[in-house]
């Protein structure tokens, strides 16, 4: 009798252990799979995007002939022809019209602009022959980076033989606005646009959200109205973001007549979008403060408001901060609602204020990913690196601040 | 037998005190939590400069009545109170009474030590500061020091007043809370099971302290330990199912209870 009981017991025990083992295996498998996906994604993006942070320049000598340049008016002088002629002069053997055109195509428009900037800064150069770096076009750049067959291979080999070509860090990727020329297209317009938009979104969303959370959690009477408000806030957090874009279009553009494509409107829409997130996170943080702290403050005669602002809020601060950073990350990465209010246009100028036309980083990625030029694929990946890097940095700051301010009680 | 309905209970002057006046007088107090009738027709006089212990089984209303004395129940939305509780001749539920001011006259010490997560100094200084009791920094330092001394904590913490109050041991934290309560110069101190989270040694220390504080304050302590009630109080009140059954001299109460329910409770037959 005891034997059979023993046997059944052992069987059950074995089963239980097996079940636990299986569950652990599933867990590890899920983790490994996730890690693999993530690693693949990162490796793919970084390997595609990394080359876009660099550009190729050739060094040629240009004679700054005073006859061709107006010393009194350098800025309007024709550097284009000057640089083009100097470039062709490096290759005297190329004479056919087709080949000459191809050769010119290897030079970027920016080559002349860079030289012009140099001469404007130092007009004494006029009359001298200077060694200058000229930016190569995206086709030549891609060839030198080892992919792309837009540039003629035979011609490129001749270029490499005739002039020194070297690779440099592409600062203009961060200092230029958008451009149709891939080698000139930069992120500054999108970065400034993002900054302005996020600043407005958080400048409005955080104070409103936190104030609403404090009121709802600590002061509001518990009745049907506050219940309805609470349900609606939770529902708003789940509304697809494109709906907020439509709301922004209908309200801010059509009713209030605010400018299209402006960070002001983008920020207003995103403020509405993060409001529920901020309220929910802040309420949770406030609720997590033990009631004994509030009672202690009330017990020594603090008013309700003193108890809340001097004791409850400081303790809830790290949690509220986490909510704020979550909101920040969300506004920074949001795309869909901004499409609806026209922040999706091609905008070459860096916005100077909140009513200038602008775009934002994720929308810039969306725009570039749509372009046919091969070089823009790399630019897209590079912009993704910048976006993800910024988000990681923001999250890092959030975690640091939270740990710094977190207090035990 | 059932002397619940508005029979006023004034305890006989405890043998240990003479010439004590009544600090708190409650008349026909009823407290409701929503539908629940938590305190039924309670009328009582509580004397000054004595320790009154409230005992009774869980849910009998002793904490509820305690929290009514400094209107802490106001923070519970469903809580309703009728009748009047007078302190120094003034009904504390009168609309003219400012609850913030009331609480500066009626200090409270809670079941779980709940110092603010701030420095020891700030814990004690907070009350005097918000009530404007100190005119200068030296004044405030003096209040903090004397309060900590009265709470018997000063010697232990005088070198680390800037350290966090939450870093102290449980017993020290509770004495810090007592110092915080007496720093605003109250007349009444309410204690809601102040020793239930402490070990016996820390408990003994608090009990000594309560006995010292009795010289200057009207103290009401809710306790589940009948030994504690017997040790620290001069007067004991027994609550049962929302009724104040009996209130009188502690020694009398534990040796010759008037009511059958009191007798059953203190002899451990229920509760």
Q: Region A252-266: what's the mean pLDDT?
A: 91
Q: How many CB pairs under 8 A join A and B?
A: 66
Pairing status of strand A129-135 against strand A54-63: antiparallel
Q: Which of A290, A291, A300, A407 to mutate to test the interface with B (most CBs of B within 10 A)?
A: A300
Distance in Å, alpha carbon of B170 to nearest chain A alpha carbon: 12
In this complex, which of B77, B117, B177 lies closest to A407 when CB atoms are compared? B117
Higher pLDDT, B112 or A153: B112
Q: Find chain A residues with C-beta within 8 A of B168's C-beta.
A: none
| Contact check, Cβ <8 Å, A299/B70 | yes
- Mark B174-191 as b/e (b = at least 16 C-beta within 10 Å): bbbbbbbbbbbbbbbbbb
Identify the pLDDT of residue B59: 86
pLDDT confidence band for A347 (50 / 70 / 90):
confident
Residue A70 has pLDDT above 50, yes or no: yes
What does the block give as tokens for B63? 């904490």
pLDDT confidence band for B19 (50 / 70 / 90):
low
Closest residue in chain A to residue B73, using alpha carbons only:
A295
In the sheet that B36-47 helps form, which strands lie side by side, from edge to edge?
A: B36-47, B22-33, B79-87, B90-91
Distance in Å, alpha carbon of B187 to nearest chain A alpha carbon: 13
Closest residue in chain B to residue A302, using alpha carbons only:
B100
pLDDT > 70 in chain A, percent? 98
| Contact check, Cβ <8 Å, A300/B103 | yes
Q: Region A222-232: what's the mean pLDDT?
A: 91
Contacts of residue B208, Cβ cutoff 8 Å, sequence gap at least 6: B152
Tell me the per-residue pLDDT of A162-218, one tens digit each, with 9 for 90 and over: 889 999 999 999 999 998 888 899 999 999 999 999 999 999 999 999 999 999 999
Q: Region B41-57: what's the mean pLDDT?
A: 91
| Contact check, Cβ <8 Å, A300/B77 | no
Q: Which of A220, A299, A406 to mutate to test the interface with B (most CBs of B within 10 A)?
A: A299
Chain A residues with CB within 8 Å of chain B CB: 221-222, 290, 292-303, 306, 310-311, 315, 407-409
Tell me the per-residue pLDDT of A143-173, one tens digit each, with 9 for 90 and over: 888 876 777 788 888 888 888 999 999 999 9
Q: Quick one: which of B59, B81, B83 has its CA closest to B72?
A: B81
Decide if B6 touches A, using CB distance below 8 A.
Answer: no
Tell me the per-residue pLDDT of B162-217, one tens digit each, with 9 for 90 and over: 999 989 999 999 999 999 999 998 999 999 999 988 889 889 989 999 998 998 89
Tokens 């490796």 sit at which residue?
A: A43
Residue A2 has pLDDT above 70, yes or no: no
| Contact check, Cβ <8 Å, A295/B110 | yes
Decide if B108 touches A, using CB distance below 8 A.
Answer: yes
Label each residue of chain B as H, E or C.
CCCCCCCCECCCCCCCCCCCCEEEEEEEEEEEECCEEEEEEEEEEEECCCEEEEECCCCCCHHHHHHHHCCHHHHCCCEEEEEEEEECCEECCCCCCCHHHHHHHEEEECCCCCCCCCEHHHHHHHHHHHCCCCCCHHHHHHHHHHHHHHCCCHHHHHHHCCCEHHHCCHHHHHHHHHHHHHCCCCCEEEEECCCCCCCHHHHHHHHHHHHHHCCCCEEEEECCCHHHHHHHCCEEEEEECCEEEEEEEHHHHHHCCCCHHHHHHHCCCCC
pLDDT confidence band for B23 (50 / 70 / 90):
confident
| Least confident among A21-30, A65-74, A248-257, A326-335 | A65-74
Distance in Å, alpha carbon of B72 to nearest chain A alpha carbon: 8
Identify the pLDDT of residue A3: 62
Residue B18 has pLDDT above 70, yes or no: no
């Amino acid at each position: 009798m005891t034997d059979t009981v023993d046997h059944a017991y052992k069987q059950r025990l074995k089963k239980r252990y097996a079940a636990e083992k299986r569950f652990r295996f599933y867990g590890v498998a899920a983790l490994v799979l996730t890690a693999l996906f993530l690693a693949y994604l990162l490796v793919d993006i970084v390997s595609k995007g990394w080359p876009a942070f660099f550009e190729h320049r050739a060094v040629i000598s240009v004679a700054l002939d005073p006859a061709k340049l107006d010393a009194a008016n350098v800025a309007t002088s024709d550097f284009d022809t000057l640089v083009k002629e100097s470039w062709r002069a490096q290759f005297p053997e190329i004479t056919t019209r087709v080949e000459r055109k191809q050769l010119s195509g290897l030079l970027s428009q920016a080559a002349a602009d860079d030289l012009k900037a140099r001469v404007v800064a130092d007009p004494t150069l006029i009359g001298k022959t200077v060694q200058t770096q000229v930016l190569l076009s995206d086709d030549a750049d891609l060839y030198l980076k080892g992919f792309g067959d837009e540039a003629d291979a035979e011609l490129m080999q001749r270029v490499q033989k005739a002039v020194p070509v070297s690779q440099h860090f592409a600062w203009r990727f961060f200092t230029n606005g958008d451009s149709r020329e891939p080698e000139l297209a930069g992120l500054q317009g999108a970065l400034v646009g993002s900054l302005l938009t996020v600043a407005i979104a958080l400048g409005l969303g955080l104070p409103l959200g936190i104030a609403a959370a404090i009121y709802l959690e600590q002061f509001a009477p518990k009745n049907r109205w506050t219940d309805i408000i609470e349900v609606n806030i939770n529902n708003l957090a789940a509304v697809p973001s494109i709906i907020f874009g439509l709301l922004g279009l209908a309200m801010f553009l059509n009713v209030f007549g605010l400018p299209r494509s402006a960070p002001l409107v983008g920020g207003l829409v995103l403020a509405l979008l993060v409001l529920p997130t901020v309220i929910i996170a802040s309420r949770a943080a406030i609720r997590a403060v033990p009631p004994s702290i509030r009672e202690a403050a009330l017990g020594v005669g603090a008013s309700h408001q003193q108890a809340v602002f001097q004791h409850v809020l400081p303790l809830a601060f790290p949690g509220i901060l986490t909510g704020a950073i979550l909101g920040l990350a969300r506004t920074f990465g949001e795309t869909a609602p901004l499409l609806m209010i026209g922040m999706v246009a091609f905008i070459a100028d860096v916005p100077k204020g909140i009513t200038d036309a602008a775009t934002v980083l994720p929308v810039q990625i969306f725009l570039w990913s749509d372009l046919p030029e091969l070089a823009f694929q790399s630019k897209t990946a590079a912009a993704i690196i910048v976006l993800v890097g910024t988000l990681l940095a923001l999250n890092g700051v959030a975690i640091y601040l939270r740990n710094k301010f977190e207090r035990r009680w | 037998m059932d002397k619940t309905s508005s029979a006023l209970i004034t305890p006989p002057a405890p043998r240990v005190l003479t010439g004590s006046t009544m600090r708190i007088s409650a008349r026909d107090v009823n407290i409701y939590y929503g539908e629940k009738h938590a305190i039924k027709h309670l009328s009582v006089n509580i004397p000054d400069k004595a320790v009154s212990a409230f005992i009774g089984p869980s849910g009998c209303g002793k904490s509820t009545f305690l929290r009514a004395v400094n209107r802490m129940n106001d923070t519970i939305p469903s809580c309703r109170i009728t009748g009047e509780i007078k302190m120094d001749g003034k009904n504390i539920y009168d609309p003219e009474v400012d609850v913030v001011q009331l609480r500066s006259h009626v200090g409270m010490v809670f079941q779980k030590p709940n110092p603010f997560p701030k420095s020891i100094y700030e814990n004690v200084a907070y009350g005097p500061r918000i009530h404007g009791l100190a005119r200068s920094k030296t004044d405030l330092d003096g209040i903090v020091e004397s309060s900590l001394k009265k709470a018997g904590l000063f010697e232990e913490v005088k070198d680390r007043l800037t350290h966090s109050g939450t870093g102290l041991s449980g017993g020290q934290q509770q004495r810090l809370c007592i110092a915080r309560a007496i720093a605003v110069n109250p007349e009444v101190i309410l204690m809601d099971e102040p020793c239930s989270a402490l070990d016996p040694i820390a408990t003994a220390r608090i009990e000594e302290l309560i006995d010292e504080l009795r010289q200057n304050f009207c103290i009401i302590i809710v306790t589940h330990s009948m030994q504690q009630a017997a040790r620290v109080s001069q007067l004991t009140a027994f609550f049962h199912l929302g009724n104040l059954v009996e209130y009188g001299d502690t020694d009398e109460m534990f040796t010759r209870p008037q009511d059958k329910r009191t007798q059953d409770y203190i002899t451990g037959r229920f509760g």
